[in-house]
Amino acid sequence: MSEALPTTRLRIRRFTGGPFQENGYLLECLSTGKAAVVDPGHAADRMAAAIQEEGLEVEAIYLTHAHLDHVEGIPDIRRVTDAPIFLHPADQFLYDRAAAQAQAFGYQLKGELPAVDREIQPGTSLPVGEVALEVRFAPGHAPGHVIFHVPEDEVALVGDVVFHRSIGRTDLPGGDFQELLQSIREQVLTLPGSTRLLTGHGPDTTVDEERMGNPFLIPQTRGDEGHFA
Ligand SMILES: [Zn+2]
Ligand SMILES: [Zn+2]
């Protein structure tokens, strides 16, 4: 289902589907009407239909990381736009193995993935019309995982770094539990507390909600000393 989320300069719609219930996002700059896609997954066919029906001009496809569930919908999006694909280079090896990832989960890609067009550089910002997505490097779940922060809208797209009351898994190739906890501490918990976190799976949350209520992050669990490793 797609769902409108309350924001100011960006209209953000979430499209969820597939065996992993992955959340893909369609971002639209309200002043220019220009759009970008983040992590097109299993429900990207519905996202593509919305893009086409509304005649949206998609400027880019931005990937938080290259796990299968976040990239498998790229062929659907590419049927309605030739927007370039952006990925951090440390996740290129995962992108290249997408077909093998699919096979391991017992299904086939909807289509071959087109080549990545641009490298995402942490510390830079990426445009959606007039709105800037600030790129933060947050490895641990995947080695090239990035998150996109929109300070003016107090929202961040965090992919599979942190979820409502949970964190990303670290048992996949390139995963690292301590590195993930460090990324969450340094790149997520340093955002303003009211920042809304749009996650790769499940409901959205906020920095403060996870700082206080996430069992992996509250000090009592001593999660940062490896008790979950
Ligand atoms: Zn992932
Ligand atoms: Zn995922």
Task: Name the nearest CA neighbour of 85 among 17, 38, 145.
Answer: 38
pLDDT in tens, 136-190: 999 999 999 999 999 999 999 999 999 999 999 999 989 999 999 999 999 999 9
Nearest ligand to the CA of 175 is 1
Distance 34 CA to ligand 2 centre (A): 26
Rg (CA), the chain: 16
Closest CA to 138 of 185, 72, 172: 185
Q: Which-ligand-closest: CA of 141? A: 1
The residue with greater pLDDT, 224 or 79, is 79
CA of 41 to the centre of ligand 1 (A): 11
CATH class of 2-225: alpha beta
The mean pLDDT of the chain is: 92
CA of 27 to the centre of ligand 2 (A): 19
Answer yes or no: are the C-beta atoms of 206 and 196 closer than 8 Å: yes
The string of pLDDT tens digits covering residues 121-137 is 999 999 999 999 999 99
pTM for the structure as a whole: 0.92
- Name the residue with higher pLDDT: 140 or 99: 140
- Output the CA 91–ligand 2 centroid distance in Å: 14
Confidence of residue 3 (pLDDT cuts 50, 70, 90): low
193 and 208 in contact (C-beta within 8 Å)?
yes
